[in-house]
Amino acid sequence: MRILLIEDDQDVARHVSRGLKESGHVVDIAENGIDGFSLATEENYDVLVIDRMLPRLDGLTLIENLRSRNNLTPVLILSALGELEDRIIGLRAGGDDYLPKPFAFEELLARVEALGRRTFQGSANTHLKVSELEMDVLSRKVQRAGQAISLQPREFRLLEYLMRHSGQVVTRTMLLENVWDYHFDPQTNVIDVHVSRLRSKIDRDFEYPLLQTVRGAGYMLCDSE
């Protein structure tokens, strides 16, 4: 994917761009809002990663300007304000996702990749298939290798999200925000327990595991063995 990173903190910019490049992405960096805005309008990016506080033109205004020109490139907002509560303001300005600093790089990577995929893998698809696992979203049926699996409603939504982002790291926070639709900071890793329940249903009685734990990042549903 082609990613534009607009970030004035050179340390953060260097670290993030190196990580993204290592994951196989192409990264451009802009150090202020004006440069970032020119690059974003002139070039064609899959995802924009924009810091909220930028010299010359602040992040939120930049996004508003982009949106008013009908530029709909997905935007991940980074915020040093570090507040869950600021998320709303960021999203209202036209951001697609919001990540407070400090963040783990894996969290950023997972979100950037999720945003990038969103453009070409919509939720219109009602039949999902990952390896031998199949889901019919409309009839709410799940089967693996032809064997029906019965899931609770929440487990179904969890699996649906994982399947729509298969082959991609999905963090605990992403699951909480997208499957439960609550933006909060759980003190305990409640998500792990839900995932392990789901895992026992889709993986335990089968030859190989599909649902992987990615250390320090989250989970991934793999397409292949």
What residues make contact with other proteins under the rule CB under 8 A?
Answer: 11-12, 15, 18-19, 22, 82-86, 88-89, 100-102, 104-105, 154, 180, 182-188, 190, 193-194, 197, 215-216
Cβ contact 194:158 at 8 Å: yes
CB < 8 Å & 24+ apart, contacts of 12-19: 12/51, 12/78, 12/101, 15/105, 16/49, 16/105, 16/108, 19/105, 19/108, 19/109
Q: Which of residues 41 and 196 has its CB atom nearest to other proteins in the complex?
A: 196
In whole angstroms, the minimum distance from the beta carbon of 85 to other proteins comes to 4
Q: How far apart are CA 136 and CA 203, in angstroms?
A: 18
Provide the minimum distance between the beta carbon of 42 and other proteins in the complex, in angstroms, as a whole number. 30
Shortest distance (Å) from residue 174 CB to other proteins: 15
The residue (of 145 and 193) whose beta carbon lies closer to other proteins is 193
CB-based burial label for 222 (10 Å; 0-12, 13-18, 19+): middle
CB of 41 to other proteins, least distance (A): 29
The span from the CA of 51 to the CA of 40, in Å, is 14
Q: Which is nearer to other proteins, 9 or 35 (CB)?
A: 9
User: Which CB atom, from 181 or from 207, has the smaller least distance to other proteins?
Assistant: 181
170: nearest Cα among 225, 116, 126, 214: 214
Residue 56 is classified by DSSP as S
Q: Which C-beta is closer to other proteins: that of 23 or that of 131?
A: 23
CB of 130 to other proteins, least distance (A): 23
